[in-house]
Amino acid sequence: PCEMCIRDRLYAARQLARLAPLLLEWAAAHDAQTRAAALGCLQALLRCCWPRMRAHGGVVWGYLAASARAADLDSQLGLTGDVSGCGGTGAAADGAGGGAEAEAHDAVLEVGRLLLEVCGRDAIAGDAAGCAAAADAARKGDGPCARALLSLLQ
């Protein structure tokens, strides 16, 4: 990698303790545009700081589950348009929110896959926070986005 890439990764790793809590909270925000933006930044941070993120996989997974539940709730309430299933493959209704909702759905799965690559299924499924999030989501009978996220663990 080039010197600039290494410098950017070192800077991101140095700022991880400040950035991660903000991005995780925003990933479960009430509006789809904030969730999509936060998840995009979280994905970039995971790519830069993956060695340090391994220790926090269960916590990040819990926030991803909350983000998926928020996306499903928005779809169920019709707040941002109908997105059939997770992954944003459905047709969004009119309004600016539908595109952001599809983007948030896609981002949840992308970050989930990346987190599993970084931490491994066993680390997340074996982590107390990861197990609690999976069990909590299963009890609540979540929508398609949360179910798709949990299916990644299996």
| Average pLDDT, consecutive stretches of 10 residues, N- to C-terminus, the chain (154 residues) | 69 79 89 90 82 77 88 72 43 50 85 86 67 56 77 77
Give the pLDDT score at 105.
83
Cα dihedral sign for 53, 21, 148, 34?
negative
The Cα-based distances of 136 to 22, 62, 79, 153 in angstroms read 23, 10, 24, 14
Distance CA 97, CA 94 (A): 8
Q: Residues, the chain, total?
A: 154
Neighbours of 54 (CB within 10 A): 13
pLDDT at 86: 47
DSSP 87: T
pLDDT at site 32: 87
| Residue 25, pLDDT score | 92
pLDDT at 139: 54
Distances (CA, A) of 112 to 11, 19, 57: 24, 18, 10
Give this prediction's pTM. 0.71
CA atoms in the 13 A half-sphere facing the CB of 63: 21
- Burial of residue 1 (CB within 10 Å: 0-12, 13-18, 19+) is exposed
